[in-house]
């Protein structure tokens, strides 16, 4: 079921799994501009699983709050798997969560940087270890649709990771 553009069934399935294990999550995001935080807030029992999140858009804030390597981040405009992993690990620490989820990327082209593709790097960390990382490419052109699609894809990837770890 979709509500507000988000996959509510996946969100609630995540909530059930995490509540059973008495585990929590925190989110660090950039390209999705807070949409992951909104999605998790819609879960049944959100207060039992969702510790909180941070939206950091620029290198200064990512380095200050999420402890990303500023040299590496400066060389890739904060968009890489390494940056996503650093964001996920730090947000879990910051919010005392079992799981850290992070995403950073481009929701629209940035021609001056030679970026034409809409893509994002994500990382899912469990107990301070990366368990799933990847790159998502989006063909949609509308910025809100790109962000919402990134959010729903990452929700599905997180659900898969939760099921894998719970085995």
Q: How many CB atoms neighbour CB 114 within 10 A?
A: 7
Q: Mean pLDDT score of the chain, rounded to an integer? A: 94
pLDDT at 167 over 60: no
The mean pLDDT value for 23-52 works out to 97
Domains and CATH numbers, the chain: 2-165 (3.90.950.20)
**SS3 letters for 20-88?**
HHCCCEEEEECCCCCHHHHHHHCCCCHHHHEEEEEECCCHHHHHHHHCCCHHHHHHCCCCCHHHHHHHH
pLDDT for residue 166: 61
Q: Which of 81, 28, 36, 77 is nearest to 56 (CA)?
A: 28
* Nearest in space to 95 (alpha carbons), one of 6, 24, 14, 3: 24
Model pTM? Answer: 0.94
């Amino acid at each position: 079921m979709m509500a507000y553009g988000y996959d509510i069934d996946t969100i609630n399935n995540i909530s059930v799994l995490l509540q059973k294990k008495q585990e929590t999550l925190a989110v660090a995001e950039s390209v999705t501009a807070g949409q992951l935080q909104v999605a998790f807030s819609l879960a049944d029992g959100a207060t039992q699983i969702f510790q909180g999140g941070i939206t950091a858009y620029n290198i200064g804030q990512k380095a200050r709050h999420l402890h990303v390597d500023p040299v590496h981040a400066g060389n890739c405009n904060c968009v890489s798997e390494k940056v996503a992993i650093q964001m996920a690990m730090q947000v879990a620490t910051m919010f005392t969560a079992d799981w850290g989820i992070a995403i950073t990327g481009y929701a629209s082209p940035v021609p001056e940087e030679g970026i034409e593709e809409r893509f994002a790097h994500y990382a899912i960390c469990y107990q301070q270890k990366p368990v799933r990382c990847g790159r998502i490419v989006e063909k949609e052109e509308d910025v809100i649709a790109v962000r919402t699609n990134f959010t729903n894809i990452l929700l599905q990837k997180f659900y898969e990771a939760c099921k894998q770890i719970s085995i």
